[in-house]
Structure 1
Amino acid sequence: MTSQRRSKITPERELELYEAALDLLRESGYEALTMEGVAARSRCGKSTLYRQWGTKPQLVAAALRGTRCVKLADVDTGSLVGDLRAAARAAVAGAGRDTALMHALSHAAFQNPELLRALRENLIEPEVAAINAMVERAVTRGEIAADNPAAEFVAAQLMGVMRARPMVEGRQADEAYLHRFLEAAVFPALGLRATSRVTSHP
């Protein structure tokens, strides 16, 4: 797990450091990224970066998480249908211009166990936990049965389809696509009924 931070920086400065790291990633890729380069780009001491994040993989993972506009843990619409639709919107917003970057990082992660661990701890596990929490709230509200066998696969389905469509069809999984996927595959398996609000077929 990420070590406890020992230095104090403002949220605004933290965001500047994140943006510097991501800009360098977009320009040169993960392998060429260095803590020294981020320090130079952001005009801060290299020691600050090491005290704050410890390693390059932890900085990269934190930057990706810290620059996301919507965090799934903040989503709670009062219904599972609403939560999953909001999660789909957040997933599309989070992908944004960095879809290619995320694919490149995914490839690098399988060559670098430390990076893979950092991405899992900072990005994947929190998002899986947030989606699982949506499902658990739905069980508590009585929207779905506690023993519904599809419940454990919701996170894998929603996150997996984001990665699958570019490989299978050569197109990104936009909001319209994700809504159709929820309507056709996820909601029926959970015993939920909902009418899609997005009907376009890009």
Structure 2
Amino acid sequence: MTSQEQAGTSVTTSRRSKITPEREREFYDAVLDQLRENGYEALTMEGVAAQACCSKSTLYRQWKAKPQLVAAALRAGRCVKFATVDTGTFAGDLRSAARAAAQQAGRDTQLVQALGHAVLSDEELQGALREALVEPELAALGEMIDRAVARGEIAADHPAIEFLAAQLLGVQRIRPVLEGRYADADYLTRFVDAVVLPALGLSEAT
């Protein structure tokens, strides 16, 4: 093969490997749908290719293997539920955050459950899950706390602050285990009023 032919082949391969953002989103949606429905172990590149109407080679060429594809899909599905919450009071922010969390509680919990042991054994998946579902909410909660401290509603060194994220995020994950139901808005707002606010020294009327 001449150098000109090799160059032509390289250009063709490069063009073939390009995927539009819209098409990439379809691949990621297929991955997340199958994760929630079947779990990580049952998810296959073949299944994703079938749902996304593409060839397996397309997926392998872009993401090499299942863990990389799943990690990319998780990061692309990143959704910051608490980012726009700002009611003017800490109690109001926490209630609004609870309602926002309820909108995605089922889907988020399904993802966590679907990844199961795979997250514990694969650092890339673990990092992607934290980046998609945990770190954005921790950052948003941190901003709520900073505003509350600035308003004088709570002391910066209040001991309950350390456990706030574990309370709000943990209760979403555990309710399906304990009661077989996802944490809806009513459940989470009642949890905030009965557990979170008293722990912070705030009242329901705040």
Alignment equivalent of 2:155, drawn from 129, 145, 155: 145
Which residue in the other structure is 2:182 paired with? 172
Q: What is the CA–CA distance in structure 2 between the aligned matches of 1:76 and 1:16, rounded to whole Å?
A: 33
Matches of 1:29 and 1:135, distance apart in 2: 35
Q: Which runs of 5+ in 1 are unaligned?
A: 1-6, 197-202
Q: Secondary structure at the match of 1:150?
A: helix
Contact 1:76–1:134, Cα closer than 8 Å, also in 2: yes
AA partner of residue 61 (structure 1): L
Is the contact made by 1:162 and 1:173 (CA closer than 8 Å) also made in structure 2? Answer: yes
Aligned match of 1:96: 106
Taking only the aligned residue pairs, the percentage that are identical comes to 57
Deviation at 1:29, TM superposition (A): 2.4
Pick from 102, 105, 117 the counterpart of residue 127 of structure 2.
Answer: 117
Name 1:200's counterpart in structure 2.
none
**Residue in 2 aligned with 1:81?**
91
C-alpha distance in 2 between matches for 1:61 and 1:97: 12
Name the counterpart of 2:4: none
**Letter aligned with residue 113 of structure 1:** E
Which entry has the higher C-alpha Rg, 1 or 2?
2
Q: Note the alpha carbon deviations across 1:165-194, whole angstroms, 9 max, x for none.
A: 222333322211111111111112222222
Amino acid of the structure 1 residue aligned with 2:94: L
Contact 1:183 1:195 in 2 (8 A): no
Q: Aligned residues, how many?
A: 185
Unaligned runs of 5+ residues in structure 2 are 1-17
- With over 3 angstroms needed to count, the CA separation of the structure-2 counterparts of 1:125 and 1:97, relative to structure 1, is closer
In 2, distance between residues paired with 1:135 and 1:14? Answer: 36
Corresponding residue of 1:33: 43
Contact kept? 2:31, 2:70, Cα under 8 Å:
no
Q: 1:31 to 1:183 in 2, by over 3 A?
A: same
Task: Please state which structure has a larger fraction of its residues in helix.
Answer: 2
Instruction: Map Cα deviations across residues 127-184 of structure 1 (whole Å, 9 max, x no partner).
Output: 1221122111111121211221111211111011112222233332221111111111
Q: TM-score, normalised by structure 2?
A: 0.73
Higher RCO (CA < 8 A, seq sep 6+): 2
